[in-house]
Amino acid sequence: MLKSPVVPFVAPFLLYMLILSGEGWFPDQHYLIYPIKSLLVGAVIVGFWRVLPSLKPSAPVLSVLVGIVGVVLWVGLDPWLVKYEQPLVGRNPFLLYPAGEAWVLFGLRVLGISIVVPIMEELFWRGFLMRWLIKEDFTTVPLGTYQHLSFWVTTACFASVHGEEWALAVIVGVLYGAWFVRTKSLGNIMVAHGVTNLLLAFYCLIKNDWHFLSIIAPVHR
């Protein structure tokens, strides 16, 4: 099973979602759990690194620009597209911990959201699922191959894990997917995704609006 070509693309995502599913039981420990989650998922990615396709971006500068467009769309369209049933649980670390500890935990959160998460998600969504929907033997499908069903199902699934922000995720998911189809590079969309997440985190910090870093998993009572 561990030798299956599916595992390197899917295992990091499944581990992340497994930890996330239990995270809602400890909402006030989010900033302590997140570095552990990032470290574990990152270790799995590193463990499979040699069998993964090249993740080197072919167009890093343009990918950064795509990422900037992504965060502009996410923040700018939020008031228009998202109707929150209840306020999202935005965890401001500077209200939960002393200043020094809060900066460290925020920094670790930023590293996780801008490096580990983009690699983990893009390996699964566009490295695996988008190709697997075209052909079960997905490794024979070139990266960035466009097929209507696979593109839109992948985009819909990507959006579905973003909770009430699904409409924003559809738009940004189309942006990432189009860039992937255009460049055929997982590295490019990982850079774009990482830049979007990085700038979103700093938007939360600068604007003191933390709902974009909410806990997506249900908060258990």
**pLDDT digit string (tens) for 98-114?**
999 999 999 999 999 99
pLDDT of residue 218: 43
Going by C-alpha positions, the residue among 40, 54, 58, 67 that lies closest to residue 127 is: 54
Half-sphere exposure of 126 (CA within 13 A, CB side): 32
Domain ranges within the chain, ordered by starting residue: 7-213
- The chain-wide mean pLDDT, for the chain, equals 92
Quick one: average pLDDT of 115-123?
98
The percent of residues above 70 in pLDDT, for the chain, comes to: 93
User: Are 210 and 92 within 8 A, CB to CB?
Assistant: yes
Helix axes 186-207, 60-81, angle to 10 degrees: 50
Q: Cβ of 87: how many Cβ atoms within 10 Å?
A: 8
Assess whether pLDDT exceeds 60 at residue 93. Answer: yes
Assess whether pLDDT exceeds 90 at residue 181. Answer: yes
The percent of residues above 90 in pLDDT, for the chain, comes to: 80
**43 Cβ neighbours under 8 A, 6+ residues apart:** none
Going by C-alpha positions, the residue among 36, 96, 77 that lies closest to residue 170 is: 77
pLDDT band at 220 (very low <50, low <70, confident <90, very high): very low
> Which pair of tokens denotes residue 126?
């566009």
pTM: 0.94
Assess whether pLDDT exceeds 60 at residue 9. Answer: yes
